[in-house]
Structure 1
């Protein structure tokens, strides 16, 4: 467990908790750490004081960032308050759900992913154990043309894929087909 008074370290710039496998949630009121430039991971807690909303003020985050235990996000309103689109210095984002039974509806999970839409300059995105059947529409938008890597892991309920140029998939137990629309057209009309 991280110290409960961590929110008092208002000038803290770097917090690396990689490898802290037994850490189950972040301390309360992390939103007070507005000067953070790097935060390796944010573990979403079940309470409002350490939920995903706490990320809303952390617009100075840089480089690689991971949000885990997204199953603790109760609704898309909470996810929206994380303001992921404002974090323009993050170039690699990892979104993780835990493999537990009893998620809210597939539509609720998709709405949550919709609201976690990152900024347009993101270069790498990884999504793990996403429990819904379909991904958010923003994954296939052309404005994410700077994204060079998309990795999807253990999304066992997904039945359809976003439309992309490059995609790595792993452990899609229910995937039955990749639609013709998935392939991109080049200038002469042929498919790649």
Structure 2
């Protein structure tokens, strides 16, 4: 879709001209189905919502909310696909947390472009990576391997285990 970033905080208008995560997933899955039609036993797609990270670095809450909404739409699409295609595993995680989102009951802030329905002060902390554990969510066959607290290297092992559940077939294309 692009050699580098599709959009950033300086080009929010590109949200209407560049594909969303949902549309990129849909395109990628439809393209990958051709591998299965040619005898491959499956496919792997990794989608990254990297602008969530950049919004955290920039301490830009409105930018963060736009990017989280785009990510949420992509996750919803992936889960709907997985419900219809029950041999599909969807895993959602992060490699780190950035910024340290703060929600405090004092000094509420008004956001011009967001419909926020609570009166808490929201902000982002330091704008750098934190040591906060990141969640991992999984749905589909092999999801049981993604429970509890995992070391990031265990995520790789769990993905490999899920991919090897069915050893039939091959892909020479």
The TM-score range, normalised by the shorter chain, is 0.3 to 0.5
Compare relative contact order (CA 8 Å, sep 6+) and give the higher one, 1 or 2: 2
Q: Which structure dedicates a bigger proportion of its chain to helix?
A: 2
TM-score, normalised with respect to structure 1: 0.31
Structure with max Cα Rg:
2
Tell me the TM-score normalized by structure 2.
0.33
